[in-house]
Structures are given as structure tokens and as C-alpha cells.
Amino acid sequence: MNVVGRSARTIGYKGAMSGKSLTDLMDAMLEESATAQEAAEVQRSEEQERARQEAALRAKAKEQGADEAPPSLDDIVQLTGLTEPDLREVLGAAAPDDLLVVLATADDALQRRILRNLTEESVRWMRANLEHMDHVSDHERDQARAKVLKKANGLLADGTIGLPEPESIGNAAAPDPEKKQLRELLVDLVRIGEQSGPSALRQIADSAGEPLLREGIHKVVDGADSDTLRSELGELRAELEKRYAQRLKWMVEALVAIREGETADSFSKRVFKA
């Protein structure tokens, strides 16, 4: 990031942390260990890959539906309703100067969400440049927020990010990305069925990552009635739950084996009967 060229100002926006509280928060975040940082980066990469796959599927589903007015964000606090991967997309697209003003004038929840999703280098840059800010006018605040929201809406329009979760807006805790993405996908599928009929789902059936959803879409497209659908998918659901329950049991036994110092051969014979 390039250093922001600003004259000394005071952060005086109602609802934001005091300058000292915000810098203390930044300092605390910078004290995280290198190991924790590396683990967070791995998790971020996995979340981003999952988010990209889900976004591609949602975009494909929406292509099959009728044209609608594009959704948009109109309040900076709505950023708190984004999943962590989506928020990182917005932060990466926004100009550092604008982010600095948004961070300085945001409430506690948004400040924490922003800082938690910046790199250590970016937090240090924000920390250093915050010291040179003494005052942010309402015009500067509104202008910076408008620019960041414009970036967010561009990402929303092209399917890179999803809409914020209403119940998460204003909270420091991020929404569960898997729950959010699945809900969005299911709503899109139902909307397509409502507007264009079940046959419109044929092209996206094989893209569904969930086995029950994939099989169910095929059955709906092939004309299965509701009773048959509930019965056959109920059997598939029971089979999937049993299969996953077995996997969870194996995981527990592996962890117990590690705790007890059991040998790999003994563990394999005991659990997998090998």
C-alpha cells in the first residue's frame, strides 16, 4: 500500500472507536503469532476457493432465471453482513485511502470485521497512517463510503460476492459462509422453478455439489411427483446421514488413538478391520 498523503486530522465521527482504542485494537491484532497468521491464511485460501465454486454455481443458476433489477448495497454497515471471503474481496478492490477513512469513521463492529480481514502489512499501514488523521469531514466520510460501496456493488453485480446476511448486519461476528451460500442457491433454484418451470434447471443439475440436491433436481426435471420425491430423497438422505455418521466416528477414533499413543497398525485393525 502507498502511504496516504494527508494533513494531520482528528477522527471525530460519532459511533466510531476513539483514535486510541482503534490503534490499541490494531496493536493487539499485530501481536498475533506467525503460526496463527499462517493458519489463518490457509483457512482463508480454503474459504475463498469454496466461495468461488459456490459463486460460480449461483451465477449459473441466475443465468437461467428471468431478468431482475440487480441488488445493491447502500449502507456501509451492510459490509458486516458479508462472509469473510466476500468481505476480503471488497477490501482488496477498495482503494487504501478510502478504506482508511471508512475504518476511522466506522462503528466498532465494522472496524473489527475490516481489521480481521486485512493482511498484517495492511494493518500496519493503517496503523501508521491513522496517526496522521485528526479530522474527517462528513463529505470525506460519505465520499469514501460511496467509493467502497461502488466497488462492493460491482463485485455483487458480476457474481464475485453474494448479498449480506440480514441477521449479521451490525454484528462483529461473520455469517456462516456455507449456510449463507446454500440458502442463496436454494432460493435461486426455487425462483427459477417458479418463473421458468422445472425444465429450466436441467442445465445446472450436474453442477450441484450436494448429492441429494443433484439427484433431486434430476428427479424433479424428469417429472417425479411430490410423494415419490419425498420418499426416494428421504431414503437417500438417510443413506448420506449414515455414511457421514460413520466418517465422524472414524475421526473420533483416530483422535482417541493419537491421544492414547496407539500404533497405526493397531488403529487400522481395530477401526477398519484391516
Residues of the domain holding 267: 200-272
Mean pLDDT of each 10-residue bin along the chain, 274 residues long: 40 57 77 58 62 58 54 92 93 95 94 92 90 87 96 93 88 83 82 84 74 88 91 93 91 90 91 80
Residues 121, 254 share a domain:
no
Whole-angstrom distance, CA of residue 28 vs CA of residue 125 = 15
Altogether, the residues listed in the chain come to a count of 274
pLDDT of residue 197: 85
pLDDT of residue 10: 42
**207 DSSP assignment:** G
27 in a domain, yes or no?
yes
Residue 65: alpha-carbon gap to chain centroid: 24
265 in a domain, yes or no?
yes
pLDDT of residue 33: 47
Q: 89: domain CATH number? A: 1.10.220.30
Query: How many domains does the chain contain in total?
Result: 2
Out of 168, 189, 224, pick the residue that ends a domain: 168
pLDDT of residue 75: 95
191 in a domain, yes or no?
no
8 in a domain, yes or no?
no
Out of 153, 168, 183, pick the residue that ends a domain: 168
* H-type alpha helices, 33-137: 34-63, 84-93, 96-105, 108-116, 120-130
Residues 150, 204 share a domain:
no
Residues 148, 24 share a domain:
yes
Residues 155, 75 share a domain:
yes
CA 26, 32, 34, 35 torsion-angle sign = negative
Residues 129, 32 share a domain:
yes
Residues 92, 142 share a domain:
yes
Residues 108, 54 share a domain:
yes
117 in a domain, yes or no?
yes
* H-type alpha helices, the chain: 19-30, 34-63, 84-93, 96-105, 108-116, 120-130, 138-157, 177-196, 211-221, 226-260, 264-272
194 in a domain, yes or no?
no
83 closest CA partner among 154, 175, 18, 181:
175
Residues 80, 150 share a domain:
yes
| 83 touches 167 (CB < 8 A) | no
Out of 115, 144, 168, pick the residue that ends a domain: 168
255 in a domain, yes or no?
yes
| 204 touches 65 (CB < 8 A) | no
Residues 33, 144 share a domain:
yes
pLDDT of residue 226: 93
Residues 215, 162 share a domain:
no
